[in-house]
Structure 1
């Protein structure tokens, strides 16, 4: 093998033949382009029959883009089905490559990193515990270290993270293998958090498994991925397709059912053409650290937010930089044990989309950059159009309403002219031509679902994993109906989000809601008031134009008008659980939970009453001051130092007037001041109750109540 520079892939010949990859991309995108051009010309010919209208040109432009996106999505499913049926020998199976590498000890060290931001520490520690025990069961835990990378700003949650981590390490014997770090300044959000890890600790590891706080991965699959990365030195990123789990509400269950049933077709279709030029989705992936460190330092975009500044959707860009430097990015489509959770309600979903939308629209700066491969531009384009598609759909509906209004007002014949090329060639009238186009659009919309359902019914293993044929068919019909009702509301919301970003309103960095009792009627009325009123007004206008046009628009207008009750109803966990009892919208992971999920369900290592910062009256920061064990853990994680007179004054004010009288900056600085925290701890226990604030005296007194109640360590 020829020698290469230290910064280049060590494997000269790429795993995927450039000729084969280029041919596949030509076939795939060529097919999408040809079909879209034919459909667009069909609509143009139909407009010829109708006679010239000012909106026809605009409609054709918007239709070309929208239909192109529809064809692109449907062809991913079609090519995925083709790959599943005929391409088993050609499709790269990560599991097979791992088996070829052999069951030998790993030669390199690997990190499992989980960035967290204001999360429930007991829940993300349960996931870490499950992954740890799952890797431990493979016999290769010595090759892995774990890192909790905290950007948490809530000071109480910071203390809870420290105690949860300490308990986790004590129970698992993980000191020196499970690490915790909280950044004092959380610059550049998650990308900055990961970047800080790479710069500080990355040199000690060959690669890192990147997780989200809601991620869960099977240890055996992580081992397979590391074996493949060791065997193929030019592999830069190995991305897995996570499955959605733990959905309780109807909304989340719709998402996880759809992803589990239809997702494999799209994943295989995506992998069919991208091959070694894949993308990175930000989590549940294995990344080689040396090239990531060398090439993936993200630049600031020109100008200010929302389009400039720090790159929010960093993952696509990092994969683009890897591929542009000759490193391969693969999609590990056959890795099964990879999971994540989703927002529980439509409103939470839209809040997350607000952040993702701004990040994806920033990629407009990058999509035409020089020296980017075709696959990179394709991924960036699809990410951008995931959000620009909604305002384009909205425009298409407006232009269509404009044309219908003008034609109704002019009282012209619907089909004033025959003799167009389609008429001369096929000898069909305008109504038939219109119905054929409509049927083609609906075929593109529903063909992926039809292929997935038929394939699942024919495969007994898959059919049984979804609870049988009847629950599978009922669930797919319910998912289709509810998705049709939700889509118009999402369209209007995305259009408003894009408009807000274009007007210069940048997004903040909020915490994702991972659990909820459901959306209240008042919240739904506030959030969905605009689409509801828009739907009512549009329905009145459509009926005024003609009952036929109103019927044509009914599926979209119904979704807008019913957005409030649909949002509330789909947020209810109790209805989701009722469906699960009937196996409706059930997924294989619910009916037969994998071992790593079972481990996470019973994981309690981070919870121990001997070291606890959650008790009433001694929660979070108060526990870090008062509780001897919590104070000891917190101080041990701080840098030693000497107190200044100013810091002593802050400590005295905190003692006398209470924690809440300090400013946010003073609170943060005090919690980083080891001598100050020790001084506070001693003072609340040694000074007379009359000389300190009631917060501290009540917390100290609570220990006496616990002893008086006969506390035995099990409460």
Structure 2
């Protein structure tokens, strides 16, 4: 694909290559002819992991049956009432979830305890792969530094000629848009004319991230056999990307190969807890999933490689009927895309031990809840996709996992409330010991306390087992053990994480219950950009978000003492988390507190002790670019002050048909009027709102008007010179 110009300046080349189109039709989720499913080209690779599935699902079912039996015996003392039946049903639903997670982790633990070797770096590649980074109102210094870092690391493998690089912008903030263009000019000049780096901005972010990827595939996908999809906070090492491309070439039936991204670069206490948990417990969980999923796996939307032609042919997403939050665009598109490409006969699998794949996480509980709200809506939407035709049963299991991951919170809350009501009933209402039916002995409303305590211990053991299994694996891995500060610090960090997670759990329970109720009652979440920095959340925002959590915790404490002191003891972790919600949220969002724990060696991960070179380079480059101060410069002022930037900006605007007479948008008319009335560029900056600035920067005629406006200082200087000239 020729794309360079005769100019010696790399920035003067077209921002995108010549288009190589692929059709990406929207799929029908509920109609599928099995004859459309492709035949496998490498059937010897399709081994069904029967043993892992029997252990995971058979073991989970057996544990659930045992837990249900024990819970029935707990509530059966004195007869089973309607409330007790409800309590039993909710317990079984919640217990089945943790039982399945436990058995999956047991399988993952067994596999991780074996010795593993990282695959050798391939000596050559046959195909060209596109590496794409969708961005949406992100700080340009961060994302352009990340992609440059990945590019340099791939170049160092000697196989960089097999990769092209794309920034896929859906940015709607006019200032960030111009900052992205300046950063794009900068990265091209830094890396030189040999770097095949491109930038495309959509004017309308139709379909959000899924639509962004679809636009790329439809316009340029025909030129690339594969594409590596990143997120705005992704980092991937060069060897990892090269090995993914080699794996895709070696497996003609592969559709998506997913890596396990580790969390890095986190400093607040909340984010460091997430980072430690993902690093120590995550591999056990991921390996268990990989084991039973086999080639019927899932896709998490980033840090994965995809077969482009198959994706275009089979993964076009339809809009769901109805209005958001249940209808409209599919928010959690990745699960559905994995199900569709698997339905077509391609494999989807994960490589949890490949390494070299990184991401970041929200810096505070409030930031997590904002992202979680969108994920909740996307996963609950899958209830409408679950009955789609032709999906593999494992794909349906992935949908159920996502749905149930959010329903557990309201189910847990209901279980707590029903338990409280039963205790309250036993304490304050005079029981009817002798019912209307003939009985020799009275019916006493009570529980089997001893069996109840044993079941509680079993439940907590199963709940904490994945953490303990992950800890054992970490202790037996020399690199992880030493990088985390040794066995003692690993034990201390794990204990701290368990305690803090227990306090955070009831807060997240109420937050997620609120999300579910909002969606059930028809409130759409929207799509706001994530806050990725480590800056602390204002205390007023924390109080506003958590004041009702604290109120509910205090109410539970008072009511518990009124009903039964033993109830307070039973609910103490939940009550403590809610009563301390404001303090916990504030403390965990503090960067200084997180750094203090880091200096003490608590929650340390190997990637902090020995920072991966790619992470070190990315952080240094991001800081260097941020120091230039171009992230926050007003777009109008930047275009006005820099003729070269203005010329490139205009040349990169899409070609539009001439406006028809009488068709004028309000923003266009207001922008033109305000610019015409402005005496200086400062006037235009002050008068135009965000929407009008976006229109002005998208219109060549209005850009010409802006360029002709003088600066206020120049106008004042000219006014001072005029009287002197007259004299």
Q: TM-score, normalised by structure 2?
A: 0.86
Selected match of 1:522 from 534, 540, 544: 540
Q: Which moved more, 1:308-317 or 1:649-658?
A: 649-658
Aligned match of 2:509 = 491
**What is the deviation of 1:654?**
5.2
Aligned match of 2:440 = none
Selected match of 1:377 from 381, 396, 400: 396
Three-state SS of the structure 1 residue aligned to 2:472 is: helix
Q: Does 1:276 align with 2:311?
A: no
Mapped to 2, the partners of 1:687 and 1:406 lie a distance apart of: 78
Q: Report the CA distance shift for 1:413/1:592 in structure 2 as closer, same or farther (over 3 A).
A: farther
Cα RMSD, aligned residues only? 2.8
Q: Which moved more, 1:255-264 or 1:74-83?
A: 74-83
Q: Does 1:652 align with 2:652?
A: no
Aligned match of 1:681 = 707
**What is the deviation of 1:664?**
4.8
1:665-680 to 2 correspondences below 5 Å = 665-680=691-706
Is residue 42–residue 252 contact of structure 2 (8 Å, CA) maintained in 1?
A: no
Aligned match of 2:210 = 191
1:218-297 to 2 correspondences below 5 Å = 218-297=237-316
Output one character per residue of 1:135-193: Cα deviation in whole Å (capped at 9) or x when no partner.
Answer: 01001111111111111111001000000011001001157611011101111111111
Q: Report the CA distance shift for 1:568/1:588 in structure 2 as closer, same or farther (over 3 A).
A: same
1:81-480 to 2 correspondences below 5 Å = 81-85=109-113, 95-96=118-119, 102-104=122-124, 106-173=125-192, 177-410=196-429, 430-480=448-498
1:64-83 to 2 correspondences below 5 Å = 64-83=92-111
- Paired residues, number: 663
**What is the deviation of 1:31?**
1.4
Aligned match of 2:723 = none
Q: Report the CA distance shift for 1:447/1:686 in structure 2 as closer, same or farther (over 3 A).
A: closer
Is residue 325–residue 525 contact of structure 2 (8 Å, CA) maintained in 1?
A: yes
Is residue 654–residue 662 contact of structure 1 (8 Å, CA) maintained in 2?
A: no
**What is the deviation of 1:114?**
0.5
Mapped to 1, the partners of 2:518 and 2:613 lie a distance apart of: 44
1:44-55 to 2 correspondences below 5 Å = 44-55=72-83
**What is the deviation of 1:411?**
6.8
Aligned match of 1:710 = none
Mapped to 1, the partners of 2:418 and 2:275 lie a distance apart of: 35
Mapped to 1, the partners of 2:705 and 2:39 lie a distance apart of: 54
Three-state SS of the structure 2 residue aligned to 1:455 is: helix
Q: Which moved more, 1:640-649 or 1:460-469?
A: 640-649
Is residue 249–residue 577 contact of structure 1 (8 Å, CA) maintained in 2?
A: yes
Three-state SS of the structure 2 residue aligned to 1:335 is: coil
Aligned match of 1:623 = 638
Q: Does 1:16 align with 2:46?
A: yes
Mapped to 1, the partners of 2:236 and 2:339 lie a distance apart of: 25
Mapped to 2, the partners of 1:78 and 1:337 lie a distance apart of: 25
Is residue 166–residue 606 contact of structure 1 (8 Å, CA) maintained in 2?
A: no
Q: Which moved more, 1:630-639 or 1:210-219?
A: 630-639
**What is the deviation of 1:75?**
1.6
Is residue 254–residue 479 contact of structure 1 (8 Å, CA) maintained in 2?
A: yes
Mapped to 2, the partners of 1:566 and 1:510 lie a distance apart of: 25
Is residue 320–residue 372 contact of structure 1 (8 Å, CA) maintained in 2?
A: yes
**What is the deviation of 1:85?**
3.0
Q: Does 1:633 align with 2:680?
A: no
Mapped to 1, the partners of 2:385 and 2:229 lie a distance apart of: 24
**What is the deviation of 1:351?**
0.6
Q: Report the CA distance shift for 1:536/1:212 in structure 2 as closer, same or farther (over 3 A).
A: same
**What is the deviation of 1:449?**
1.6
Mapped to 2, the partners of 1:607 and 1:455 lie a distance apart of: 39
Q: Does 1:532 align with 2:550?
A: yes
Output one character per residue of 1:630-652: Cα deviation in whole Å (capped at 9) or x when no partner.
Answer: 22332232246798798876753
Q: Report the CA distance shift for 1:614/1:194 in structure 2 as closer, same or farther (over 3 A).
A: closer
Mapped to 1, the partners of 2:264 and 2:711 lie a distance apart of: 46
Q: Which moved more, 1:29-38 or 1:457-466?
A: 457-466
Mapped to 1, the partners of 2:320 and 2:654 lie a distance apart of: 35
**What is the deviation of 1:410?**
4.6
Q: Report the CA distance shift for 1:458/1:606 in structure 2 as closer, same or farther (over 3 A).
A: closer
Is residue 251–residue 345 contact of structure 1 (8 Å, CA) maintained in 2?
A: yes
Is residue 151–residue 193 contact of structure 1 (8 Å, CA) maintained in 2?
A: yes
* Structure 1 segments unaligned to the other structure (5+ residues): 415-428, 698-715
**What is the deviation of 1:457?**
2.4
Output one character per residue of 1:409-457: Cα deviation in whole Å (capped at 9) or x when no partner.
Answer: 257799xxxxxxxxxxxxxx93332222111111101111222223322
Mapped to 2, the partners of 1:457 and 1:639 lie a distance apart of: 56
Q: Which moved more, 1:311-320 or 1:66-75?
A: 66-75
**What is the deviation of 1:538?**
1.1
Three-state SS of the structure 2 residue aligned to 1:55 is: helix
Q: Which moved more, 1:475-484 or 1:630-639?
A: 630-639
Three-state SS of the structure 2 residue aligned to 1:632 is: helix
Mapped to 1, the partners of 2:525 and 2:146 lie a distance apart of: 29
Q: Report the CA distance shift for 1:141/1:484 in structure 2 as closer, same or farther (over 3 A).
A: same
Is residue 479–residue 606 contact of structure 2 (8 Å, CA) maintained in 1?
A: no
Aligned match of 1:418 = none
Q: Report the CA distance shift for 1:83/1:641 in structure 2 as closer, same or farther (over 3 A).
A: closer
**What is the deviation of 1:231?**
0.7
Mapped to 2, the partners of 1:459 and 1:180 lie a distance apart of: 42
1:536-555 to 2 correspondences below 5 Å = 536-555=554-573
Selected match of 1:585 from 603, 607, 624: 603
* Structure 2 segments unaligned to the other structure (5+ residues): 1-34, 434-446, 721-727
Is residue 535–residue 591 contact of structure 2 (8 Å, CA) maintained in 1?
A: yes
Mapped to 1, the partners of 2:370 and 2:78 lie a distance apart of: 42
Mapped to 2, the partners of 1:411 and 1:459 lie a distance apart of: 59
Q: Report the CA distance shift for 1:27/1:688 in structure 2 as closer, same or farther (over 3 A).
A: closer
Is residue 138–residue 220 contact of structure 1 (8 Å, CA) maintained in 2?
A: yes
**What is the deviation of 1:629?**
2.9
Mapped to 2, the partners of 1:117 and 1:345 lie a distance apart of: 20
Is residue 139–residue 631 contact of structure 2 (8 Å, CA) maintained in 1?
A: no
Q: Report the CA distance shift for 1:255/1:413 in structure 2 as closer, same or farther (over 3 A).
A: farther
